């Protein structure tokens, strides 16, 4: 499997070619690893190292078994963590600290994922929490 010279990552078209499948236990192991490390960025290469099949086999098996990619699954625990951070009454919480605390390295991407996952901007969640803490002022 060749990686892109520009990014050093494997493209989705490379991952979708016919490949041997990973076992279901390997898909579950990837999910467990993602959930345990939700506050750290995940890559398909790192998941393949942890679960032992090739990146292509893991990607293919994950999509076949779950209906979404391992990277889509990897976003959810971080988004849930970011939402929890925004919902607590910590006056130092911000959208930026919640995004980085949720394991996202790109603020713009995390905000887009957050909006798709929860139907509102992270700033709206934070604003609502701040107004609840301040007594609605």
Counting every residue, how long is the chain? 137
CATH number for the region 75-133 comes to 1.10.10.60
Percent of the chain with pLDDT over 90: 23
Calculate the average pLDDT of the chain.
82
Q: Residue 129: is its pLDDT beyond 90?
A: no
pTM of the model: 0.66
* DSSP helix/strand/coil, 102: coil
Quick one: 21 exposed, middle or buried, by C-beta within 10 A (0-12, 13-18, 19+)?
Answer: middle
CATH number for the region 15-73 comes to 1.10.10.60
Lowest mean pLDDT among 27-36, 39-48, 112-121: 39-48
In the DSSP assignment, the letter for residue 134 is T
Q: Where in the chain is the domain with CATH 1.10.10.60?
A: 15-73, 75-133
């Amino acid at each position: 499997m060749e990686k892109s010279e520009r990014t050093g990552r494997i493209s989705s078209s490379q991952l979708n070619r016919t490949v041997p499948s990973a076992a279901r236990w390997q898909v579950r192991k990837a999910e467990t690893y993602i959930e345990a490390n939700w506050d750290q960025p995940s890559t398909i290469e790192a998941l393949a190292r942890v679960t032992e099949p090739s990146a292509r086999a893991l990607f293919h098996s994950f999509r076949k078994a779950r209906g979404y990619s391992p990277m889509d699954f990897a976003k959810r625990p971080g988004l849930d963590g970011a939402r929890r951070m925004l919902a607590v009454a910590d006056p130092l919480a911000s959208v930026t600290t919640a995004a980085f605390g949720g394991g996202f390295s790109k603020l713009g991407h995390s905000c887009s994922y957050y909006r798709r996952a929860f139907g509102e901007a992270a700033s709206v969640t934070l604003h609502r929490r701040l107004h609840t803490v301040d007594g609605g002022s």
